[in-house]
Amino acid sequence: MTEPAGAVPGPDGRLRCPWGLSAEDYVAYHDTEWGRPVHGDDALFERLCLEAFQSGLSWLTILRRREGFRAAFKGFSIPAVAAFTEADVERLLTDTSIIRNRAKIEASVANARVAVELASGELDALIWSYAPDPAGRPAPRTLADVPATTPESTALSKDLKKRGFRFVGPTTAYALMQACGLVDDHLLDCAARGNG
């Protein structure tokens, strides 16, 4: 089966990125959230954690467990997660509402401990400082035009790692940039493009 050339119509006739129609759970996420600007330290910390948990898995797996993650990680409050103990890690390893991966759970706690040392708004400013100039990025026409990494995501990854963040490779950093609206990778003909 060949990949669609570009945006495809959904049941409502709206053109969407093909992945946005690949599962019912994706439609609202694609239409109202993915690619729209996200600000706030805790909100960006949540996305950073979820993108790390997604590594090696389908985003749909994470999306379907998002509320479980939010409950398990205290709404992704950076100070709350930074205060997690080894007992909390062990508790999370038995929580079936999340992905029970010790390395990713421990990375989330470690990342909160790094983030809690930053000034208020500093994580937001740090991440957004790597947003590329949209004028220099042509709109992708097909999914094949969407990169897995960019020079900006590589630089963001290096900066985060230098500060002590974990599970933040260039591909994860780019997925974060896409999800949080630092880049608009909705396809050229997608109805959601430019709505950020």
Q: Which residues are catalytic?
A: 29, 51, 59
Nearest to 73 by CA among 107, 123, 39: 107
Residues whose CB is less than 8 angstroms from the CB of residue 20 and which lie 6 or more positions away in sequence, other chains included = 10, 26, 27, 29, 30, 31, 34, 190, 192
Neighbour tally for 122: CB within 10 Å: 12
